[in-house]
Structure 1
């Protein structure tokens, strides 16, 4: 039992650090090593990279992209072979500068980093009732979901299902989409967004709360799918990745004509200032920035944007150390025009760390961790039973 809880804690921490796949690398299965097979695999790898980097699932149909596949070797920086799930694979790395140049030619967008971490709560309505699919449940859907996230460059988290999860959220909470308990229990994972997925046989419905901080106060983006489970999960991840990309992706071909002032307050030290500057310089929506003024707790830059102010705001506030404030505005020809964009620096955001695993032997020789797990299991069974009672007298629809 102790080993299991240690494993759960390890999985929790790894969720935030193990998403190491490069935006410009792809691994695709191959049947053999002949020339035609290798060429097709390279082209598939290039399409995966273009979808991941552009943030557009439909870019594979772009005429410029289709034409470029004929010269795929000119975009490749490295190639090799590997193995995944007992299947031989081709691993290709692509030149970032050439991929970005192709996106400009294709009039496509660029979706850079950082990418949002998205927490998925999944409930399956099966023959034995409704059950939550946890990270450590060894359900194939978890590995499929994470593979789809890697394909799109979207870091996906799945709750581990330890004692804290099981006692703080119930199956009816997730199935019913009750945001208060879900928001509270999700906070320990420090996600940028939360997705609720309900699965019943060959049907699936989902709800996305794109900004976790606003989960209790905003309506979700929702959708539904039908068909084979892997295909449904593929479609869900595509739609969610497209949603996030539409909020923060920029067009590399745009001229930086949108110039404005940006002020950030709340800086407490030189470390805060340099951390803020690194964050701003890493944004894809900023073409250039110049320091205007620097005083105690406040810095002002003149920035040139490659995007709209909405896209800039969405990209900047992915970093939860920064919060938007009311802008300084003026009225021009009856329209409200921002004079200065105002934000506040809230300090270094820390990831939550699971409580240390301890054991305490009670009189009958059973450890406290074993008792906790038994209580959690009993709670889950009660949730399923209570849900079945509701189903017998209520609406059975999703």
Structure 2
């Protein structure tokens, strides 16, 4: 028989009063929800140097072809730009992918045989920079994806959620993996159904959907619908995916026409990844100059907080070096050698939920607080 976790056993055995027990359970559920919400913010994508290709066998020829495709997949993820594959040096590197390869293996996943390859990320970043191509760091926005699909016959609209058995979930996961972005699907529970329904998404009511998605704490909210339309260009009915992408301040919209829902989802993910990369990736022109910047961060009053903040700043692709230059009470001053100026850096740091620009400047002689640390 499976044992109950110790901390739950103590709570249940100690408090027999149902009212007290219900309060304890409510606190536990609330805490779990808060933790889940906190984890939903943009976090580093750890698989940028990993390629994964579906194959039919384990022959040497198959391994060679899959290795080249995995290399191309990783280069696109690291750059955020599909156009990098047209670069002559990138093409040459793809045919000689072994010089960048760290490890590879075949794995069986259900009925699929996969070739997985790990590449030397720094060598690939150096390749991109040597060719004056874009580089996109690991810390990337997280989006919440509301997708409504209309049945061609009944015209019923249904949402694709975590609780649904839609075959499109796997397609979304694969497409986002290929481009190095993360899209969270709504849970599809009672709270979601009370806030947002399929008709809301079908109507692409961006403001309402964004405001009612705050429980997920994502950087972006996406609404998309897929249905049949008459295509004037081909003079026949085709499928169309219409979407919006918003962070509450800006909005991007578009419509894509295609022959299958799977293909439309893949094309949408490509457009979404390109949209984000244009905002957050580093241009070659930006990487040629070094800026000396200082960030004053309040509430850094323990060694754990200091180490966490230092790790975040060090992990940014735009950071060359970073060090603690001063500490006054709970305000830590970090000096960075950065490839981008301060305002560009702050755009990137908006993806870190625990670094928040102060709502008002507190009285602190001689120091302007750039951020307040909200984490542990």
TM-score (norm 1): 0.72
Structure 2 Cα separation of the partners of residues 302 and 16 of structure 1? 29
Which residue does 1:291 correspond to in 2? 324
**CA offset at residue 251 of structure 1?**
5.2
C-alpha contact 2:40 2:218 (8 A) present in aligned 1: no
Q: Match of 2:128?
A: 103
Q: Which residue of 1 aligns with 2:351?
A: 318
Per the alignment, do residues 38 and 205 of structure 1 end up closer, same or farther by CA in structure 2, a change over 3 Å counting?
A: same
The 3 A distance-change label for structure 1 pair 170 and 87 is closer
**Distance (Å, rounded) in 2 between the aligned partners of 1:208 and 1:50:** 25
- Of 86, 107, 116, the residue aligned with 1:82 is 107
The 1:174/1:49 distance shift into structure 2, 3 A limit, reads same
Q: Which 5+ residue runs of structure 2 have no aligned equivalent?
A: 1-31, 229-238, 362-366
1:278 to 1:38, Cα distance in 2 relative to 1, 3 A: closer
Query: 1:115: Cα distance to partner?
Result: 2.5
> Is structure 2 residue 179 aligned with structure 1 residue 152?
yes
How far 1:44 sits from its partner (Å)? 0.4
Q: Deviations over 1:237-259 (max 9, x none)?
A: 11211222222223589344222
Q: Shift of the alpha carbon at 1:266?
A: 4.3
User: Structure 1: which 5+ residue stretches go unaligned?
Assistant: 1-8, 329-339, 350-398
Q: Which residue of 1 aligns with 2:212?
A: 185
2:271 alignment counterpart: 239
Q: Output one character per residue of 1:133-184: Cα deviation in whole Å (capped at 9) or x when no partner.
A: 2222111222211111111121221011111111122333323333454234
Partner Cα separation in structure 2 for residue 155 and residue 19 of structure 1 = 10
Partner SS state of residue 374, structure 2: coil
Aligned-partner Cα distance in 1 for 2:44–2:265: 19
Change (3 A) 1:314 1:327: farther
Partner of 1:36: 61
Match of 1:163 in 2: 190
Deviation at 1:22, TM superposition (A): 2.0
Distance in 2, matches of 1:89 and 1:48, equals 14
Tell me how far apart the structure 1 counterparts of residues 292 and 315 of structure 2 sit (CA, whole Å).
18
Query: Contact between 2:48 and 2:74, CA under 8 Å: does it hold in 1?
Result: yes
Indicate conservation of the 8 Å contact 1:124/1:198, yes or no: yes
* Cα offset, 1:84, TM superposition: 3.9
Distance in 1 separating the partners of 2:360 and 2:36: 38
Task: Please give the per-residue CA displacement for 1:274-312, whole angstroms capped at 9, x wherever unaligned.
Answer: 332222122221212343332123232332211243431
Q: Distance in 2 between matches of 1:20 and 1:279?
A: 13
2: CA distance between counterparts of 1:48 and 1:274?
33
Q: What is the TM-score when the length of structure 2 is the normalising length?
A: 0.76
Paired residues of 2:356 and 2:374 also in contact (CA < 8 A): no
Task: Return the offset for 1:326.
Answer: 9.7
1:322-337 alignment runs, 5 A limit = 322-324=355-357
| Number of residue pairs aligned between Structure 1 and Structure 2 | 323
Q: CA RMSD, aligned part only? A: 3.2
